[in-house]
Amino acid sequence: MATFKDLKSGDEVWIKKPSNIYGKVIGPRPGDAGLPPEEQLWTVEVLPYTQYLHPEHFELVHPPKDPNEPHEYTSKEWAEEFSIFNAAASRYLADNNDKAAMIEANEALRKLGFVKNK
């Protein structure tokens, strides 16, 4: 559930009430400027309509992460990928003809952010 402290213009939100739809936050409704923040309605653009809703009726939507984007340094995913790289690199060092290990190590390096796709 969103609160007025979480919102900024341009945020994409999932509107739970009155129906489950997506919208884009425009900002607080100008006529509510004199009200305390927790009582203000927010202008939300639901194409082709604009509605006025309380923040507790929607939640922020985080844009999907690009699957080709490297993991955040030292995150849980990064540490797991580093383990995968170490295992693949060890296999490749033991047998330089192991192309699967070389490909796996290269893919892990890309996910770790050390190698860029062309």
| Structure confidence at residue 27 (pLDDT) | 83
Which amino acid is residue 50, in one-letter code? T
Q: Supply the angle between the helices 99-112 and 76-94 in degrees, to the nearest 10.
A: 150
| Structure confidence at residue 109 (pLDDT) | 92
Q: What is the domain partition of the chain in residue ranges?
A: 12-60, 65-118
- Is the pLDDT confidence value at 8 over 90? no
Report the residue count for the chain.
Answer: 118
Strands 49-53 and 12-15, by their bridges, are: unpaired
| Structure confidence at residue 77 (pLDDT) | 86
Number of H helices, E strands in the chain: 2, 5
Give percent of the chain above pLDDT 70. Answer: 84
- The pLDDT tens digits of the residues spanning 46-104 come to 766 777 778 887 777 776 666 677 878 878 888 999 999 999 999 999 999 999 999 99
| Structure confidence at residue 47 (pLDDT) | 67
| Structure confidence at residue 78 (pLDDT) | 87
- Is the pLDDT confidence value at 23 over 70? yes
CA distances from 84 to 41, 58, 109 (A): 49, 39, 9
- Is the pLDDT confidence value at 16 over 90? no
Q: CB neighbours (10 Å) of residue 50?
A: 13
d(CA 53, CA 50): 10
Residue given tokens 């580093």 in the structure block: 82
